[in-house]
Structure 1
């Protein structure tokens, strides 16, 4: 008797509804997280750290001591009372350089030592026979691409705006002094006095040409996270194949190993052990490709290798713990945790100070931020511990302990309750195992 043709799976509503719901949730979630974190950085900007250096020694003019640097600082602080986007940190030049060299500030505005002297020289009467023009006063804006290109750009714009506002205020005073001297100034001289300060922009912490303009740490961190997740997926499938839970297709042929009934705890331990071995290979190859082949600017190569291997291992072990606890949905959950929520809250492109509050909260525990800060320390800041490296290693250790505790606690609970992945045979224990063989794959 002929068998009836089976109904096409495409006619099953469950297939369309289930797949459609998962696709809808993923697309909506990624759109909200990725675009939501970056759509309005200037509107969300709060307390972007920028150093303010007042090295002005002051000057004597008209029988009194003038300290214009202090006036500039007072003007910036007054303007900041109504604008909380910038956190102006008044420090010495030496401290500013340290903070620039550790990524603690995104830039700096420097008032030089001779600022008052050069400004007052503009207002002093110049002998006609002297023929020597006074040195124009300057304010220096320092950028810091190593802390993030967008944050550095925001810092530079804010510092230049403050510098030009200070120049305009000083210009008004100079024009009043010139008018008091009852000397008619040419139009060109009046324009020069109205905006007397020259604003210069320079790199406060120069990077090498092959550092992706301060983004190489982020790209490297992203590679490590992706390698950890892909490695975990590979390990998960290969362990299941070796235990006979899955078959392997080689073109038109299918291979399946005899089923080995193994506890969930032991399966997870096997996967994590294999993940550690793969991490050594993957971390070494990532560094060899980026530093050896692509010639990425990097130092402390031994520390970078250890950091790369450890990051891949921790991300992979964390993913395996999610797979073991939640099964197939665990893969989606790992993608959300390590990518969807991690990238917009990493502070690698848009600074944390320009993110909405929700993403700032995520950044406190999301791994990509900690990984990126550790790599910035290794690649840009000479592996200084307080430049993010200590925080990165600490976070990595906490994540590893949490992943091990969670993964083994859940799998042990499943084993105790008899929730085995494949039911154990009861009466056919004497049945010989079917040897592994290659057979044509069926549709």
Structure 2
């Protein structure tokens, strides 16, 4: 007698509703996080750190000592009172170089030692011969190693401040020229109206093969993705080895006998395996980027250790989420390690140009800490206070939290008898006593019947 044809699973409303809801949540969440964090960096900009260096020694003019550099600084501070987008940090040149070399500032505006001398020379009744007078110069220093967009914003703000200072100085020089009652040629008037030359230089150069200061972010992102993918691989392979899942190799299906194992032991097995493959993945990431792609890098031993540790911590954290939440844990890990992490990493758009929500995320999101540590290794000579110390501490805290959370939850599940596969009843007969695997799932029943017939 022919068997009735079962209706297609596509006719089940639960399939459409459940899948549709998950897809909708993922779509809107990723869109809001990725685009929301970067859609208006100038509008969100607040307290971007920029160094302001006044090395001007001053000059004697008209029987008095003047310091044009102090006037420039005062003008910048006055303009900044109503605009909190830039945090002007008045420091010495030595301190500015240190902060540039640790990624603490995104750029600098430097007033040179001879600034007053060169300015007053322009207003002198007997100017230096043409071609011999050095023009007043303000230097804007960039810092791509701290982030290309942040460096660009810093450069724009410093150049704007420098040109505003030049216009103010030009007004004073024109007044002095008018008071001398000596007619000036039009070219001379134009020169006096905007007398300062603004030069732009790299305050902390990075190598030509450093992705314009973004190689640290890309490297860190690769490590995070490797940790997540490694955790997914470990999770499926452990379940396969325990007989909880079958493995398909093309048309061939293989399934191991079920080994009833506690959730705590399953998680421990997965974490041990994750530590092993972290050695492989971290090593190969460094080999691929440094050896094959010739990425600029130093401190290769420390880079290797940092790479392996990052993959291991991200992987163990992901396994803890998988063990606690099951299949939804994979989506949760993607949200934590990617969706919320990338826009709050401060790698492309600086944290100072992000909305407050993302600045809050950046305090604990792992990718930001990992990127800062990677920048310290690749760009800042592996200095602890350049972000490497915070990165190691954050990884240690994350590792402990993952271990405590993962084993606490799985222990709770085990104590309540919430086993992944129900254990065979002790009274069910000799098959259970002998440790015979459970009856296969319904989809595998025809396969078992075919084997029995054979």
TM over 0.5: yes
Whole-Å Cα distance in 2 between the matches of residues 8 and 400 of structure 1?
45
Identify the residue that residue 231 of structure 1 maps to in structure 2: 230
Deviation digits for residues 108-137 of structure 1 (CA, Å, limit 9, x no counterpart): 000000000000000002269x55542110
Q: Measure, in 2, the Cα distance between the counterparts of 1:297 and 1:400.
A: 29
**What SS does structure 1 have at the residue aligned with 2:190?**
helix
Is 1:206 the counterpart of 2:205? The answer is yes
Q: How far off its partner does 1:440 sit? A: 9.6
Check the 8 A contact 1:53/1:111 in 2, yes or no: yes
Alignment of 1:22-37 (within 5 A): 22-37=22-37
Alpha-carbon distance in structure 1 between the residues aligned to 2:198 and 2:131: 22
Deviation at residue 439 of structure 1 after TM alignment: 11
Q: Which residue of 2 aligns with 1:410?
A: 409
Contact 2:245–2:255 (8 Å) recurs in 1: yes
In 2, distance between residues paired with 1:39 and 1:164?
28
Query: Residue 199 of structure 2 aligns to a residue in which SS?
Result: strand
Tell me the CA shift for residue 38 of structure 1: 0.1
Q: For each residue in 1:30-80, what CA deviation from the matched residue of structure 2 results, as whole angstroms up to 9, or x when unmatched? A: 000000000000000000000000000000000000111000000000000
Runs of 4+ more than 6 Å apart: 437-442
What is the CA distance between 1:7 and its match in structure 2?
A: 1.2
- Structure 2-normalised TM-score? 0.95
**TM alignment of 1:274-313, pairs within 5 A:** 274-313=273-312
Secondary structure in structure 2 of the residue aligned to 1:395: helix
Name stretches of at least 5 consecutive residues in structure 1 with no aligned partner: none
User: Are 2:378 and 1:379 equivalent residues in the alignment?
Assistant: yes
Aligned counterpart, 1:87: 87
Q: Give, in whole Å, the separation in 1 of the partners of 2:446 and 2:352.
A: 58
Structure 1 residue 163: Cα displacement: 0.0
Could you tell me whether the CA contact under 8 Å between 1:255 and 1:439 is conserved in 2? no
Match of 1:352 in 2: 351
Matched residues in 1 for 2:393 and 2:43: separation? 33
- TM-score under structure 1 normalisation? 0.97
Shift of 1:346: 0.2
Partner of 1:326 in structure 2? 325
Which residue does the alignment assign to 2:252? 253
Aligned counterparts of 2:273 and 2:131: Cα–Cα separation in 1: 76
When the two chains are superposed, the root-mean-square deviation of aligned CA atoms in Å is 1.7
Distance 1:67 1:434 in 2: 89
Aligned residue number for residue 195 of structure 2: 196
Q: Show the 5 A alignment for 1:387-426.
A: 387-426=386-425
Distance 1:2 1:337 in 2: 51
The answer to whether the 8 A contact 1:118-1:137 is kept is: yes
Alpha-carbon distance in 2 for matches of 1:23, 1:250: 28
Structure-2 residue corresponding to 1:430: 433
For residue 115 of structure 2, what is the aligned residue in structure 1? 115
Which residue of the partner structure matches residue 100 of structure 2?
100
Give the distance between the partners of 2:335 and 2:403, measured in 1 at CA. Answer: 19
Give the 3-state SS of the residue equivalent to 2:34 in structure 1. helix
Q: Which residue number in structure 2 is paired with residue 341 of structure 1?
A: 340
Report how far residue 434 of structure 1 moved: 5.9
SS of residue matched to 1:227: helix
3-state SS of paired residue (2:83): coil
Retained in 2: the 8 A contact 1:47–1:84? yes
Rounded Cα–Cα distance in structure 1 between residues aligned with 2:327 and 2:367: 23
* Match in the other structure for 2:176: 177
